[in-house]
A and B are shown apart, each in its own frame.
Chain A
Amino acid sequence: MPLAHRLTRPIFLPAAGRKWRIVFTHRALLAIEELTGLDAMRVNLTHLSARLLRAVLFAALREAGSEASVADAGAMLRPGAVERIRHALIAGWIASFPDPEPHASSDDDDSPPPPLSTIDAWAKARYDFRLSDEEWLSMTPRMLHAIALRDLERMRQSEMMLAVLCAHTVNSSFRAPRTPTQAAAYMLHPYPVKDAGPVFGETIMSVFADAPKRRTVNRI
């Protein structure tokens, strides 16, 4: 079984008397692009057209090992089966793509970046991660995203070491800032700030629990 199938949540589509495992690798996405002319990494499956649905089904079946043609895929889309197949394909699509990024905080005006185009994903895989074409083709976008996250963590660790040194140098120098600078200020890819969350009574008590207790002295 290909690694992409092992690392992707299993979604099965019963069709033509068999159960096909739905996984969208970059190879399948390129097949969709070839048939539709659309950038498969950016298509919106919630607004599928008939032409796109047929192409997505064909690519999914081909990826699962079927030798069905585009016309065969279209013939499978009978009136009673269209919705069922569409739902299975969407589930497989979601399983193959990375989870959506959480939205930027309200004070941060940056909107989330658009998803990578196919050519950008290929360039990233080749240049940043030194993957071969075949390795990239057999991976899902979710797998590539996992590598990207790991690479980001490696960059952050490297940046953090230099940033700590930088912050220490600034804070201990002549005319050091009154408020000490933080290491994160010197990082190109700072760690995301965790949401403080709501403050409850237990939160306050846990903070003061570590404070040294003061003895009451009777002054008589």
Chain B
Amino acid sequence: MKWLLVAITVVATALADLLQSYELKRAGEQSVSARGIARLAVTVARRRYLILSIVCYAFSFFAFMALVQSQPLSFAVPVSAASFILETVAAKLLLREQVGPRRAAGTLLVLGGIILLAR
């Protein structure tokens, strides 16, 4: 059950992030002021991919919630970071982001840290 919850958290998070990144870049710069959040909420309601990303987040959230109840937070948080690899590769291939040697090296350092954190 533990690993099923991890899998749901990881896949749903990766999907949500990819959809959001793609759609929010198209929607333009957003802010978190009171007016900015209201506008952001309207933007989310009007864009299919953002609505879908929220649905994915909901799956990810409830799976994560069940995970943190049964496992230590210091296990649940790092292990759910497996979405990291999936998302970085997809960001390069699907979103056409420039993941050069420096960004890739930094990302691998962070990933190494997250794996070590889970020990």
Q: Do they bind each other?
A: no
Residues of A whose CB lies within 8 Å of any CB of B are: none
